[in-house]
Structure 1
């Protein structure tokens, strides 16, 4: 992630409270700092502007002239003037200031505190993360904390996303607090007025309504409490090496693309499978806290792999783990370990 943090203004565009991030970049703020301070120190003190796409076209026997391309605008930063992308004219921009205001309203509700915010990829993405509470242990001293994440893009690569996510303190692994399709995209429940969901995606053809999103997320303790109950049950479900083998094999097969007419590759021969089994076997961060033989340890092996090892660079890994294929893989693992818990009798089938 360090390489994704914007430095185009001469300062790392990230601010935080508490301990410094692993990359040691950014500005440390005191908890409770006002939004103007966050805006300045997190590099969010700019707006995203738009202008028509212009091009030069030469006509036979006539001088060149500048024309506007119909239906297309360039988005650019007001502070540096840097172009961010070319988008359709109906592309709805969520300004950096709106991201901070979203968290400001959460703080007013009580129980929420902005913990990290910043700019990524030279301004093409902005994001913020607010802590819901100090968290609680799943087992022993293995503490997990709940957060609300809001992120948006200015290059069309992602919708505006607001979701609950958990962070495992010992390793900073993340997992969207969702089951099934709720974290994978907009569901029918997402579209229902007043529905409480764990993840809301607002396409850029729609207007972002922070108040409506907060209501959809159902900013209530029950979301976190339900997740914690399930996680604690997972910590009590024993998993044998043979079960782990089948679990990892099925998980990798679910995302393996096989060209038409070719045999399915043996995923057990893949580097990913071997690494996942090693992580489950005790090499994951925090193995001394969660052990090496439970459904919770099995889930943590997957989140450790996705957040810290899967992908070629820190940049692609972070983007995938939070918003892309990595997030999808973690959610598949979450569903699969809960199915294990159902088979073991630790979780009712109605809870899936």
Structure 2
């Protein structure tokens, strides 16, 4: 049977959970580190015990962290706490140790709805306003969405807006994969219930080189629904198991396929289009696995590997400074070390080369701007140089040109 996932060597979910566990266990170190990070600019104080992470090479970049009662600064998970408990169900323990964990998961939708804190309905009500003369009027073309368990207002929407109930998400995903015995991975709510997510693991899995390295590629199907009118209903195929606001961001960022629909008409009737998108994503992963196996069979000398590295990161020109040239030499030395480490496990082939480049993009990039540049200039430079996904694509396509078909 074939299947979809992230390989065993670098599983993003395990890596993220492990990093979070190390962060949360090292309380004393984190307290001592706070001022150092503020001084370095990798943590920016926002006031009221809130901080924004400015660390482009880390999992945390862009997150908002908060200072708890013990003075420890911890990641803000963003889960809905409006009912007094974290709105999260998970088949595996979450890094923030919140929510309800049912080891191994469950197929029962009612259990997931309740455990995930999303067993509430949403209704639309008129938007009323009072004029200075004390008269109450209705805004004709607007409605307010309200969660009925707490009667909290979630957002103001247009007349044509149609609510997609949380319960509908499960039926939609079951119909999408054509089975009703789905084991649900996660489900929960963010921002007071304004945003809801459900994650399932796709029933198919792809194994690269089953008789050899046996790397498993097994993505998740994640659905996101909003009740505030800001976004539509969206389904993505992604390597991330959504557990909080941070992993929601990663899941959307790293999506391999996506399908979305606005909250107008009857969103849940558009399954045919979504099924086509899912089939395309399966084809993508099958094609991806075939390409990876070709890379695995392609021997690669170190000089050829460095040529690929130079295609992804252009070396400094002859007229550039000795400092820039020295920095690039140190960078290529690091890239050689990454290649050798992967080659020890996988052989001296193009697959090991791609692994080395991907590892650097995911884990080894710099975390702060040079002293000579402002943050704004650094961000502009990063944007001009292209994001990590673009570099991964460049490396993958370049390595495929070396394959003997």
Offset of residue 202 of structure 1 = 0.8
**Structure 2 residue 229 is matched with structure 1 residue 159:** no
Q: Residue deviations 1:318-352, cap 9 Å, x none?
A: xxxxxxx9xx95654454334223433468xxxxx
**Is contact 1:2–1:23 with CA below 8 Å preserved after alignment?**
no
Alignment equivalent of 1:9, drawn from 57, 79, 83: 83
Q: Tell me how far 1:124 sits from its aligned partner.
A: 1.3
Q: For 1:45-100, what per-residue CA distance to the aligned partner results, in whole angstroms no more than 9, with x for missing partners?
A: 11111112211112xxxx32111123111112111111111121212221111112
Name the SS of the counterpart of 1:199 in structure 2. strand
CA contact 2:79–2:188 (8 Å) conserved in 1: yes
Q: Does 1:216 align with 2:281?
A: no
Q: Which residue of 1 aligns with 2:115?
A: 41
Q: Does residue 76 of the first structure (1) align with residue 157 of the second (2)?
A: no
In structure 2, what is the equivalent of residue 257 of structure 1?
Answer: none
For residues 346 and 157 of structure 2, the distance between their equivalents in structure 1, rounded to whole angstroms, comes to: 46
- For structure 1, the 5+ residue unaligned runs are 179-197, 251-267, 269-273, 311-324, 348-352
C-alpha change, 1:41 and 1:300, in structure 2 (3 Å) is: same
Following TM superposition, by how much is the alpha carbon of 1:141 offset from its aligned partner in structure 2, in angstroms? 5.9
Q: CA-to-partner distance for each residue in 1:107-136, whole Å, 9 max, x for gaps?
A: 762784321111112111111111124745
Tell whether 2:312 aligns with 1:247.
Answer: yes
Matched, 1:336 2:401: no
CA separation of 1:97/1:242 partners in 2, compared to 1, >3 Å: closer, same or farther?
A: same
Match of 1:319 in 2: none
CA distance in 1, matches of 2:207, 2:109: 31
Distance across 1 between alignment mates of 2:338 and 2:240: 20
SS in 2 for 1:4: coil
Q: Counterpart of 1:294 in 2: which secondary structure?
A: helix
Measure how far apart 1:177 and its partner are: 6.1
Would you say the 8 A contact 1:6–1:123 is kept in 2?
yes
User: What is the CA distance between 1:240 and its match in structure 2?
Assistant: 3.7
How far residue 138 of structure 1 moved from its aligned partner, in angstroms, is 4.3
Residue equivalent to 1:294? 353
Match of 2:98 in 1: 25
The answer as to whether partners of 1:146 and 1:166 remain within 8 angstroms in 2 is: yes
Larger Cα-atom Rg:
2
1:92 counterpart SS class = coil
Distance 1:339 1:123, change over 3 A: same
Asked if the contact 1:235/1:297 (under 8 Å) is kept, the reply is no
CA distance in 2, matches of 1:137, 1:225: 9
Is 1:130 aligned to 2:194, yes or no?
no
The TM-score normalised by the length of structure 1 is 0.63
Q: Distance in 1 between matches of 2:207 and 2:222?
A: 21
Partner Cα separation in structure 2 for residue 338 and residue 122 of structure 1: 41
Unaligned regions of 5+ residues in structure 2, if any? 1-74, 242-246, 316-323, 325-329, 369-382
Q: CA deviation at 1:278?
A: 7.3
CA distance in 1, matches of 2:334, 2:180: 42
Q: What is the root-mean-square deviation in Å for CA atoms of aligned residues?
A: 4.3
Kindly report which structure 2 residues correspond to 1:38-117, keeping only aligned pairs within 5 A, or say none: 38-58=112-132, 63-105=133-175, 109=179, 112-117=182-187
Paired residue for 2:261, among 202, 210, 213?
Answer: 202
How far is 1:145 from its partner? 1.3
Counterparts of residues 226-241 of structure 1 (less than 5 Å): 226-233=287-294, 240-241=305-306
Deviations, residues 17-38 of structure 1 (Å, cap 9, x unaligned): 1x31222221122533411111
Structure 1 residues 111 and 98, CA gap change in structure 2 (3 angstroms): closer
Question: Structure 1 residues 81 and 111 mapped into 2: Cα distance closer, same or farther (>3 Å)?
Answer: closer
Deviation at 1:228, TM superposition (A): 2.5
- Once residues 387 and 310 of structure 2 are traced to their aligned partners in structure 1, the CA distance between those partners, rounded to angstroms, is 17
Q: TM-score, normalised by structure 2?
A: 0.56
